[in-house]
A and B are shown apart, each in its own frame.
Chain A
């Protein structure tokens, strides 16, 4: 942290918040709200004279309320920048009649109450999201009695208690009577691996944190009785199992089974009821102190940042990476990277690894000063554009800007456009050209495929990343599927325009299949949501026109689902057989009439 503060080419904004992000890869404009510190951070030497005279005493957040601080304070000893800060909401004010004691005490005159919040604009090329985590709040797990018993602590509070720089200078005492505990218990998975309270995922760090804590305690006092209540100890990293073995060798008891009830005795100790798997018996453990190993939650800022940057979240609430194995630090939006617990619960080593990777990925992207993009991007024909704003609404990358009020034509940012084609499919005025997948190219393919014996063909639209690859996989796996399937590849199922479907039916197609990646797996963030909506719209329209809606099918087929691809095609063939020549003729007649009308 100190190194970051000193680095000549790193600008560090503390007490600051990102309030807005505009732009695209290489050209982000970030609006930052820098809150007033009321202390000149360059002049302040952290001598601490101001805090000595400050009359306001408040609980210290860094020590989780286990000690106190003043209204002018340094958050913690290693804080960067090494300058004091005033919490104005607690400060009595700078009016000399009221207080202003700190102003008098400061020899260097660096306290300035006239500072105000600043709005700063920064232009950056890439963004690393490293917003960290929040600890689980154990108050809802009433059986552990965190709100009722003083000697039940969270792992964070415990950490401050045994820390040499903490409120007790590393002396372990229990909060209720400040006596040294003779026995300490740890409860694992508090707020993790739970379908009902807390999160369903494993928080990844709590097992090793507890093991580390037991080692610290045994170092303090080898005679201390330590019990760890767990479901599974997950010591999966390099050197982790060693640490676990060492902890057990030192006499720490690991008991498989989570406590059901915790009660307090008149002396302030705790009665913990646990069913021990090893003995198969319900055991009552008397402990002087109980520590809850808290799980990890996404940072509270995650949602707002996600909206600002147009990112995606996993169901857990953490940021979703562009690819779980091959692009683990990239966001789906180009120029945005993740580091640390913003992407998922992880320990220090993994966070450092990921941060290094994110930095390297950002440098790799930025150092040339220009980027190579696919030529598959969309283009707006300004004279056809009615500035309705639909394209900007559907673009998953926010690559299209259009001023609906001023009626200026839409503009596509070629660097931000990823080429899904959803805009072109949704544009009702034909004002968007999708390069390399133009309307003409696709209708040409439809016509060619339905030129001879159209009633025997199965017209299929397949997206490049999933369904087309799924078809490939079916082929490579030598799976049998009807040979009358005709595939048209688009980059994304979002490209499949309504008019392609009507054109297909008009040219005598008995059935049409639109296929793409599963919902949530779309390679263009969420473009296939629009496919789904569009097909639903088409079904309604077909019903109104008197056409059988099941003749248009939608199927999600992933690249690994060769078997599913073959099955879907067999189903389509069965469906095709149910369509008679008369029905096709009738369809063509209805559609031609509708076109004229």
Chain B
């Protein structure tokens, strides 16, 4: 059994989450576990567990939630959100947590690398002449190799 250190909890965290889009109904969760049983990620990776994340958030264990990498595992398939009988917006809640995590500076290395790619090239997957050649062969128009507009925005 893991021990939960409630002294490290931030009692205002759950309330702060509930006032933001995606977190409105988290307190309504009655732990029926439909979300976990519906989740394709939980089925292969036990680190990801929507109910556990909601519980941690409700306990106010801010650091534990935001610094962890499990919130980044959500694939946003919305199966849990669609099936939750209490109307908790679980997928939206994960997005909210991710946004907060970024604000607090907790970004996993993989995500950081993707962000850098977007900042530099405007795309996660850079297009080069090789790709355009293949596209032309398939009868598709060429794409610009750089996205300066996005780079400017970033």
Contact = CB atoms under 8 A, between A and B. Distances in A.
B32 A282 contact: no
Interface residues of A, number: 20
Given A194-B86, A273-B43, A257 B28 contact: no
B133 interface: no
B43 to A, nearest CB: 6
Contacts of B28: 195
Nearest to A141: B83
Given A259-B37, A260-B37, A194 B31 contact: no
A574 interface: no
A193 B25 CA distance: 15
A194 B29 CA distance: 11
Interface in A186-222: 189, 193-197
B79 to A, nearest CB: 7
Interface in A244-293: 256-261, 273-277, 282
Looking at B32, B42, B86, the one whose CB has the most chain A CB atoms below 10 A away is B32
B39 interface: yes
B85 A274 contact: no
A57 interface: no
B36 A189 contact: no
A381 interface: no
B117 interface: no
B36 to A, nearest CB: 4
Contacts of B33: 256-258, 260, 274-277
A231 interface: yes
A258 B30 contact: no
Interface residues of B, number: 22
Contacts of A273: 37-38, 43
Nearest to B37: A260
A231 B30 contact: yes
A274 B34 CA distance: 8
A143 B85 contact: no
Interface in B12-48: 25, 28, 30-39, 42-43, 46
A231 B33 CA distance: 9
B32 A197 contact: no
A269 B28 CA distance: 34
Contacts, number: 62
Given A231-B30, A231-B32, A275-B51, A196 B84 contact: yes
B87 interface: yes
Nearest to B85: A194
Interface in A153-196: 189, 193-196
B85 A189 contact: yes
A284 to B, nearest CB: 9
A185 to B, nearest CB: 13
A279 to B, nearest CB: 11
A260 B36 contact: yes
A143 B38 contact: yes
Nearest to B87: A195
Looking at B83, B85, B87, the one whose CB has the most chain A CB atoms below 10 A away is B85
Contacts of B85: 189, 193-197, 258
Contact of A260 (B25, B46, B83, B86): B83
A412 B97 CA distance: 63
A14 to B, nearest CB: 38
A578 B24 CA distance: 39
A191 to B, nearest CB: 10
A194 B85 CA distance: 4
B36 A282 contact: yes
A283 B87 CA distance: 24
Nearest to A192: B85
Interface string B81-95: 001111100000000
Contacts of B39: 260
Question: 3 shortest A-B CB distances, which residue pairs?
Answer: A260-B37, A260-B38, A194-B85
Interface of A: 143, 189, 193-197, 231, 256-261, 273-277, 282
28 contacts: A193-B30, A195-B87, A196-B85, A196-B86, A196-B87, A197-B85, A231-B31, A256-B33, A257-B32, A257-B33, A257-B36, A257-B37, A258-B32, A258-B34, A259-B37, A260-B33, A260-B36, A260-B39, A260-B83, A273-B38, A274-B37, A275-B33, A275-B37, A275-B42, A277-B31, A282-B36, A282-B37, A282-B42
